[in-house]
Structure 1
Amino acid sequence: MLLTITTTHRPATDLGYLLVKHPGRLQSFEVSGGTAHVFYPEAGEDRCTAALLLDADPAARSAKGPGKGPDTFTLRQHVNDRPYAASSLLAVALGRVLRTALRGDSRDRPELAATPIPLELRIPALRCKGDAATFFEPLGWTVEAAPIPLDAAHPEWGPSRYVDLTLRGTMRLADALNHVYVLLPVLDDAKHYWVSSDEVEKLIRAGTGWLAEHPAKGVIARRYLAHRTSLTNEALSRLSDVDPDADSVIERAPRPESLAALRRAAVVRQLAEAGASRVLDLGCGPGALLGELIRDRRFTEIVGADVSTVSLEMAARRLRLDRLPDRQRARIRLLQTALTYRDDRLRGYDAAVLMEVVEHVDPPRLPALAASVFGHAAPRTVVVTTPNVEYNVRYPGLEHGRMRHHDHRFEWDRAQFGAWCDDVAARYGYTVTRHGIGEEDLEVGTSTQMAVFKK
C-alpha cells in the first residue's frame, strides 16, 4: 500500500520538517499488520515528495488476532487484496508513523504547519465503494479517481472495484492527512479490526474543523464506525453539538472554497440573472448541481439528464427523492438520454447547463451535441463550463500533456474554447459572453472557463 505526498511550496524540502521525517533517510516502523517505510523519491527546492509504504503481512496480522474470524486457517488469509489496496491498514500506519503531522505540530516550522500549502496526495490502488469526489471535493480537493481495469489484457471486462486516486489542493498538511486518515476506511467501507467506542473519539478528533459541516457526514460516520448504529448515532449527536463558529484552541487559516463549489455558484448565479425558472442540467452526473438548484425556490422545474443510469441512480440517492415532500418532489425530474441525439422532452425550457460535459464528448460528436442542445432543444440561455488547459501547469504533479480526468477526450485553451463558442453562437442564433471561474492567474487565466449563450 502506498501513499505519496507532494508539495511545490518553496523550499519544498520543508515538507520533511512538517512530517518530522528527514528527506535523506529511509525510516521503517513496525505497525499493526506489517512494516511501514517512509522515504523521499524526490527532494528538491521546487518539488518534494514523501512516500509512506506499508508492507502488509496478512499472515502476521492473523497470528496477532484473537484466533477466530474469516481469515484464520483459510486460503483467504494468504490470497486477498489487503497487502496491495489501501485500506484501514494504511490509515492505522498513517496515524502511527505521522502522528505529529496529523496533530499539526512542528517544532521547527510552526508557522508553516499552520499555513495552507499546495499539495498533491496520491494513492495508486484504493478499493473504492462509491464516488471519491463525493467525499473529498467538499473539503476543497480537486479529485481524479481513475478506474483500474480488471485486466489490462481484456479491456472488455471493464473496470475493477479499485481506483488510482489523486487529490490536489491548497491546505494545511495536517488537514490533508486527517482527511485521508478518516476517508480511507470510509471509501473501502471496511475495517480490519474490531470497532469499539474509542473509535468515536478517533473520528471526532480527526474530523475536527471539517466533518461537522460535511454534506456526507452521515455516510462517513456510518462507514467509519463499521455500520454500528449505536456508535454512529453517538458520533452524529456529538457532531451536531459542534459550533463551527466557536473559537478554536489553534487558530486555523480559513479553508479555501473548492473549485467545484465556485463552479456551481457561478452557474446558479448566471441562471438567476437570466431569469430562468425551468432549467435543464444536461450531463447531470451524480447530481451535485441539481442539489444546488432544488434548494433555490426560483427554479420551479428542474430536469437532470444523463446517458448513465448509474449516475441518475446516484443523483436520486443524493437528492433523497424518495424522502422529499410532494411539492418539492414535483419540481424535479431525472431523464436518461444521450445529448448527441435529439430529444423532444428537452424542448421548451428557459435554460440549459452543460457543466464539465463537453470535454467528455469525442470531438467528432460535438457538432451533434451542439445541434441537439442549441438547435433542437433551443433554450433561451445555455451555460457551458469546461477546464482551461492552460491552467494545468499550476497543478502540482500534473504532467505536461496529461489531462485532469481519465475520461476527458480533450481540454481546450481559451482561444479554442472561444472559437467553438463563436461558431456555435453564430450557427444557432445566440450571443455569447465568456467568463472565468476560480482564482485568475495573469499568465494562464482561471482553472475553469465558462460561456453564457443567450437568444
Structure 2
Amino acid sequence: MKIGEEMQLTIHAKGDKVNVLSHLLAKNPENLYERNHKGHIIRLFYDRFTDNEVEATIYAVPDPIVLTRDRANTYDITHYINDREFAVSSIFLSFIRSALSTGLNGLPKDEYREWVDHEFDYTFSFGPVSTSLKEKELEGLFGPLGFELSFMYPYGKGSPHYLVLKGKTTLQRGLRQLYVLIPVIDNYKHYYIDEKEREKLERYGEGWLSTHPQKSFIIQKALRFKELFAKMEESNINPKPVPSKDKVSLNVQRYERIIQIINAAEDKESIVDFGSGEGKLSTKLGFVNGVKEILAVEPSERETLKASKRFNEAASHNQFNMPQTIWGSLFYYDERLKHKDVMILCEVIEHIDIDRLKKVMDTILGQYQPKLLIITTPNSEYNERYDLGQHYRHEDHRFELTRTEFTSWCHERSHGYPYLCSISGIGDEDEKFGSPTQICVFEREEL
C-alpha cells in the first residue's frame, strides 16, 4: 500500500485465478478508471495484476479545477471545513460507491457470477483514519469477522493512521463490511439518516451482522439515536424516556427565544443567520417586524437549495421579507457580513473543532462586530435525561459543554472586546441538569 495525501482503499488478493477480480470489480486492468464526483477526482488502478495476485487501489482527491471554476455555485465547501473530510469516512465511501457498485452488489457479467461467492486471501488497507476508538476496540469490530488487524502510523502515533485487514473472504462480503464499519469507526456521517439507511444496513449486514458480538454498538453508531430508539422499542426494550416536549419542540423553542430577543432589540434591521441550513430560522425571521435584511449563510449547497425553496413558498405572504442566501463559511471572511445589527449561530459552534473556535470568535467579535451576537449550543449535563451515556446528541458534534464550561468559554471569548455576555437556558429546566439548550447573548457596548 502506497501512503499518500489522498483518501484511499487498497484491495490486495491472492489465490489461483485471482485475476477474476477485475471482472468482479468490472474494471479493466489495462485502463485507468477516472471519474469526477462532487468536486473530487476518483481514480482506480491496478498496482499488480497476475493470475495469482492482484492489487487495486482506489482513491479520491479534491479536483482543483472544479473547486476553482464552480466555487460560487456547485461545490459544497463543507468538505473543507473540518479535517475529518480528508479522512476515510462515509464521505469517502459515497465518492467511491459508484466505482465499486459491481463488487458491492455482486453483479458481474453472467459468466463470472460463480466467482462472487468464491473466497480469496484478501488484504484491505485504507486510510487515513481519524477515530476515537482504541486499537483493542477496533480489533473487537474486525476480529470477529475473521480479519487480522494491524495499524500503520506513517506520521507517528496519535496522527491519522491506516488500517490493514487480512483474512479469507469474498470481495462482496469484504466490501460490504467496510461500508458498514468505516462510518462506525469514524463516528461521522455527512448525510441525513433515514429509513433507507436502515435498509442499507440490513442489506450490507446480511449474513454477518446478526451474529457479530458488537452488533448493538454497530447499529447504534450506524443509525444513530432516532433509529436506535425505534429498534429498541420494536424489541420491547424500554430505554429511559425522553421528555416528549423537548423531543418534539425544542428546536421551535430555540427559534422562539431568538426571535423574542430580536423583537426586544433596539437595532434589528440587518440579521446574519450563520449555518442557516435549510432555512427554518431565516424563514421565521422574515416575518419579524422591523427586519429589513436577512443574510442566510450556509456552506452546503444542498441545504441552501432547500432553504431557497422554503423562502419561495413563504414569499406568497405579503409581509414576508425574503432572505438572501449566501454560500459561505465561518472560516472564510466575508466583507458583506460586517457591522450588522444581529448575528446568529444557532446550534453551530458544537460542529466545529473547539481549538478552531477562537479564530472564529475573533473574526466575529473583532471584524464583523455585530451589535448583537446570539449563540445557542447543547447543555451536555442534560444528556443524562436522554440516557446518552458518553455520546453526544448528534454524530457530527465535536464537543458539548456543561453550563460552567459554556459560561467560562463565553467570557473568555469576549475578553478584550467591547461585549457584555448574558447566559441562560432554553427548554424545560431540570433541577439537577438545567435546560437542554444554553444560550449566550453578546451585546456590543457603545465606545
Q: TM-score, normalised by structure 2?
A: 0.45
Greater Rg over alpha carbons, structure: 2
